[in-house]
Structure 1
Amino acid sequence: MLSAMSVEHQFVRIRPIREEDRHAVMALAHRLTEGVAEWRDPEAVVEAARQWLAGSLASAREQRGAVFVAEADDGVVGVVSVNTQKHFTGTVDAYVGELAVAPHAARGGVGRQLMAAAETWARRQGVRHLTLETGAANTTARHFYAALGYREEAIRLTRTLDEEPGNE
C-alpha cells in the first residue's frame, strides 16, 4: 500500500493513518469546504467537515473503513477516507468520504496517490465501484476526478425557500 513520490522536492509516502496524525488531519478540514454553495453558512460547513473527518477516523479505528495519509518531510500533507456503503440499487460500493491536500502540496500528485490508495483498498473489499461527492462549484475537484476516470452520476438541486421562483 505504500507508495512514494516527490512533491516540490519532498519525499511523500502514502500510509494508513496513525493516532498521532489526528491533529494534522483535522487541520486539513478547511480544505473540504471548497466548492460549497455560497448560501451555506461557512462556519457550519467547516464544523461539518471536522465532523466528517472525525467520523472517518472513528470508522477506521473500528475497521469499518480506512484512512490514508500522505506524509512528507514536513508532516502530513494529505488525507483520504474510504469505506463501503449500500447504493440505492442494493449493490455495495466503496465511498470516498474526504480527500484533502494541504495548499503547499496541491497539484503535486498527492491527491492522485491518495485516490490510488483508496482504489486499492476498495478492490481488496471486492467492490466494483468507488463513488464520491464534491461541490458542484468545485470545478477544480470535478476536473481532477474526471481526469482519474470518474463520471458524474447524480446531481443534487437546492432551492432557497424564502425566494420566489425565478427570482433567485
Structure 2
Amino acid sequence: MTGNRGRPSRGRFCDPAVMEILIRPARDEDRPAVLALAARLAEGVASWRDPEAAVDAARQWLDTSLDPARERRGEVFVAVADEQQVVGVVSVNEQRHFTGAMEAYVGDLAVAPAAVRAGVGRRLMTAAEDWARRQGLRHLTLETAAANTTAQRFYTALGYGEESIRYTRVL
C-alpha cells in the first residue's frame, strides 16, 4: 500500500525554496514521527475497506521495518526538514515476483501534508531506486489505491508503468 495524496498546506514546509531536506536511513529515534505518517497511507483506500485497519497495517509494517533486530532485506529512508523534523518516509525491500525474479518493492511512501509538492516524495523514491540498484535489482514495484489518482499521477510522472490491475468483489 502506498500513499502520496493531499493538497499542500500553508505550513512552514510549503515553499521548496526554503525547505532544506536531507534523505537518510531511518533511525530508532525517528520511529514516532514515521509512525505518525502512517495515517497518510489510508488515503484512497477503497470505500469497502476499513480505513483504520489500513492505518494499523501500515503502522505495523513500518514499525517492523524499523526494528533494528530484524534481518535487513530492505531499508527505510526518511526525509528530514531543517535537520530535525521527519516530513516523509519510504520503505523498500526485496521480494520475489511471481515470475521468480527478485525485485525491489516499495511498501510505503508517505509525505507530511505540509511537505507535499516540495519534492520530498520524488527524493524519497530516488533513494529507494538507488538502494535497489545497489542490490543489483532491475525492477522497482509498488502498489497504490485505485482511488488515489494523485499518487498515480505522481508515479507516472516518475516513469512508472501500470503492470497489473487487482479486482475485488464485496461479498
Which residue of the partner structure matches residue 104 of structure 2?
94
Cα RMSD between the aligned structures?
Answer: 1.5
Gaps of 5+ in 1: 1-5, 162-168
Q: Structure 2 matches for 1:35-50, cutoff 5 A?
A: 35-50=44-59
The equivalent of 2:80 in structure 1 is 71
Does the CA-based 8 Å contact 1:14-1:114 persist in structure 2? yes
**Structure 1 residues 123-162: aligned runs within 5 Å:** 123-161=133-171
Matched, 1:104 2:127: no
TM-score, structure 2 normalization: 0.87
> How far apart are residue 89 of structure 1 and its match?
0.4
**Is the alpha carbon distance of 1:60 and 1:79 closer, same or farther for their aligned partners in structure 2, counting shifts above 3 Å?**
farther
SS at match of 2:141: strand
Shift of residue 8, structure 1, vs aligned partner: 5.5
In structure 1, distance between residues paired with 2:158 and 2:104: 16
Give the Cα–Cα distance (whole angstroms) in 2 for the partners of residues 50 and 93 of structure 1: 23
* Equivalent pair of 1:60/1:66 in contact (CA under 8 Å): no
Q: Take 1:58 and 1:10, find their aligned partners in 2: how far apart are those partners? A: 29
- Distance in 1, matches of 2:17 and 2:48, equals 36
Cα distance per residue 1:29-66 (max 9 Å; x no partner): 00111111011112212111111211222388532210
Q: Larger RCO: Structure 1 or Structure 2 (Cα < 8 Å, ≥ 6 residues apart)?
A: 2
Equivalent position of 1:166 in the other structure = none
Q: Is the 8 A contact 2:27 2:66 kept in 1?
A: no
Tell me the distance in 2 between the aligned counterparts of 1:13 and 1:7. Answer: 13
In the other structure, the counterpart of 2:35 is: 26
Structure 1 vs Structure 2: percent identity of aligned residues? 70
The structure with the largest alpha-carbon Rg is: 1
Per-residue CA distance 1:112-136 (angstroms, 9 max, x = gap) = 0000000000000001100001101
Runs of 4+ residues over 4 Å off in structure 1: none
Contact 1:59 1:65 in 2 (8 A): no
Q: TM-score by structure 1 length?
A: 0.88
Superposed CA deviations along residues 85-117 of structure 1, whole A, max 9, x for unmatched, are 000001000000100000000111000000000
Contact 1:59/1:66 (8 A) holds in 2: no
Normalized per residue, the structure richer in strand is 1
* Aligned pairs, number: 156
1:56–1:97 Cα contact (<8 Å) kept: no
Q: Which runs of 5+ in 2 are unaligned?
A: 1-14
